[in-house]
Structure 1
């Protein structure tokens, strides 16, 4: 059943939020790495932030910006559709990061509406550290007016399936994964913490945070493409396509693509042990 609305606030496109400030410490970096089972040495020690940690200093700017655009009655119909990080400087302890965000686009699709928000995170010197695009997909919504830009493209090239992947890695989650991730990330949405709440909205129970799954997958990508220097990872983008349960194992396959702007391009996807593609259209760009 579709919900027709013209309440998406396209007039907010381009309006920048107040800045959100975050202090990067060795402790909170190491806690995030531990919460995502990241064993890459500089991540685990807290000396270098894992790539998906970049959501932590930005979420308090991105989340409210997204919520302002979507009509209140449709908020619960929204799911995290895509995430696209662009890394300009490594995040390390001692940084004071300031993030601003703005709505970048609203697009009517056949089965719902996408809302795109862009965030920019800068350090204490004003240097750009991370750009990120967060896309929410509001299921079954209709009647929105297209405005702004669509989410950046990171489509998987289907012809790569005829070649062997450079890596195929299976991972599993811990029973308390969502609780540890919630504490380290600040994402306290109850569907990740309370079985009764999750079941009340039609889920089989607590589900893994999409960004936690992305963090797991980022470790596979780094170990397959730039294990000697994780800072060579310059872009990481995914589409979240199916839920993941704490009991699921996931398998990520990584393929070598071409090149772009002097970087090596890799594509990846992740399947659950139930055979569902939980991450599609994965893209990584790695500096040479």
Structure 2
């Protein structure tokens, strides 16, 4: 790994066009329901809203590392590490987006290398800045190259409160969730659908995208704490591990309910 060469590289802007159909497929991929979440999956609804974490789709397209100077990239050893999302404006129902990507650091974690990428996304038609994301990508087996273990550029998670949860929600994903999510998110890594590729990568079978779990979790928080109004979403950060799908995560809302509203079908059965 050549850290300074990777940080110095300034790629061309990445353009991403979508319409309400694409946003709806994404919403279905993170488990949105016709009964409760119709404003995310019906383009003619008076309050139709593009779910804010859909911005991961243009972010992923812009943050591609396969041919990035200074990085020795191997798709079979790639895992999603952490994700930070900050939204400044609601996403339009249809748009042409422009994203600018930079590798701000490469960390040496011993067992692998962690690539930190910042992606800033704009509405190309209006010029408005819509979102900033930080994507950390872990490549197994690429560590021990003598790099730093921490970075001042890294977005930190908030400390987890030392108390019992204020609310617990449960929802079972479909066996076809990954196949649906990859179509809505644009993350076409065969790890999530091809059994042979999954085995080559060290898994027994295709695995669900970490960002799909992120979408589910965000949807639950918005449903419980924001009256299912996704326009209140401001920012979130998640840290993933090998055992717990998402841990040390937080979501910031522009306005939150004083008490959570948890639908009975999502209530914990524990």
Task: State the TM bucket, normalised to the shorter chain.
Answer: 0.7 to 0.9
Deviations 1:198-230 (A, max 9, x none): 122210201001111111111111112212531
Q: Which residue in 1 is equivalent to 2:40?
A: 43
Which of 246, 254, 263 does residue 287 from structure 1 map onto? 254
Query: How far apart are the structure 2 equivalents of 1:108 and 1:66?
Result: 20
Q: Does 1:58 align with 2:25?
A: no
Q: Does 1:33 align with 2:27?
A: yes
How many equivalent residue pairs? 245
1:58 match: secondary structure:
helix
Q: Does 1:131 align with 2:132?
A: yes
Kept after mapping to 1: 8 A contact 2:83/2:239: yes
Q: Which residue in 2 is equivalent to 1:226?
A: 226
Q: Which residue in 1 is equivalent to 2:144?
A: 142
Kept after mapping to 2: 8 A contact 1:25/1:93: yes
Query: How far apart are the structure 2 equivalents of 1:138 and 1:196?
Result: 20
Query: How far apart are the structure 1 equivalents of 2:104 and 2:18?
Result: 27
Give the C-alpha shift of residue 111 in structure 1: 3.6
Kept after mapping to 1: 8 A contact 2:195/2:206: yes
Query: How far apart are the structure 1 equivalents of 2:236 and 2:63?
Result: 17
Query: How far apart are the structure 1 equivalents of 2:88 and 2:237?
Result: 15
Per the normalisation by structure 2, the TM-score is 0.83
Query: How far apart are the structure 1 equivalents of 2:153 and 2:250?
Result: 17
Give the C-alpha shift of residue 152 in structure 1: 0.7
Kept after mapping to 2: 8 A contact 1:89/1:128: yes
Per the normalisation by structure 1, the TM-score is 0.78
Q: Which residue in 2 is equivalent to 1:21?
A: 15
Q: Which residue in 1 is equivalent to 2:156?
A: 153
Give the C-alpha shift of residue 78 in structure 1: 3.0
Query: How far apart are the structure 2 equivalents of 1:231 and 1:120?
Result: 19
Give the C-alpha shift of residue 239 in structure 1: 1.1
Q: Segments of 4+ in structure 1 off by > 6 A? A: none
Say if 1:150 and 1:108 are closer, same or farther in 2 by CA, change over 3 A. farther
Give the C-alpha shift of residue 69 in structure 1: 4.4
Give the C-alpha shift of residue 68 in structure 1: 4.3
1:79 match: secondary structure:
strand
Give the C-alpha shift of residue 52 in structure 1: 1.9
Give the stretch that moved more between structures: 139-148 or 186-195: 139-148
Deviations 1:163-215 (A, max 9, x none): 23222111111121111111222221111111122122210201001111111
1:32 match: secondary structure:
helix
Kept after mapping to 1: 8 A contact 2:105/2:116: yes
Kept after mapping to 2: 8 A contact 1:107/1:150: no
2:138 match: secondary structure:
strand
